Amino acid sequence: GENVEQHPSTLSVQEGDSAVIKCTYSDSASNYFPWYKQELGKRPQLIIDIRSNVGEKKDQRIAVTLNKTAKHFSLHITETQPEDSAVYFCAATSITGNQFYFGTGTSLTVIP
């Protein structure tokens, strides 16, 4: 099965700085890569996703990049704000969409 590794496990940045979270995957058949944000005690919520036919996707302060050859994808958050503090999860799934494989999460703290 797929193996998704996520780094770093914790990340602290000053407000206004950028944050980058990286994930690698093992199955070359994976072709859909969502990112979820989970605030303390809340449900995971999708913040951005990317499909394998695209190298980069951006939504305001959030962007995701995908390198299919190297089998890694990254989440970039610019101009971080305290409300960005949360745990972020990456995931990967194959074309059938039957199973999603999640990374172990990155706890992001934005220091005011």
Rounded Cα gap, residues 57 and 95, in angstroms: 19
8 preceded by a cis bond (ω within 30 of 0): yes
Residue 105 interacting with other proteins (CB under 8 A): yes
Distance (Å) of CA 54 to CA 10, 51, 71, 92, 108:
28, 6, 13, 15, 26
**Taking contact as CB under 8 A, which single stretch among the options 12-20, 26-34, 56-64, 73-81 is the one that binds other proteins?**
26-34
Q: Is the dihedral of CA 91, 104, 64, 85 positive or negative?
A: positive
Please report how close the Cβ of residue 86 comes to other proteins at its closest, in angstroms. 14
- Binding residue (CB under 8 A) for other proteins from 25, 34, 66, 110: 34
Angle at 81 between CA 88 and CA 22, to 5 degrees: 30
Contact residue for other proteins among 14, 43, 60, 83 (CB under 8 A) = 43
**Residue with Cβ nearer other proteins (19 or 90):** 90
Which is nearer to other proteins, 47 or 77 (by Cβ)? Answer: 47
Give the binding site for other proteins (CB under 8 A).
1, 6, 9, 31-32, 34, 36, 42-46, 49, 51, 89, 91, 93, 95-105
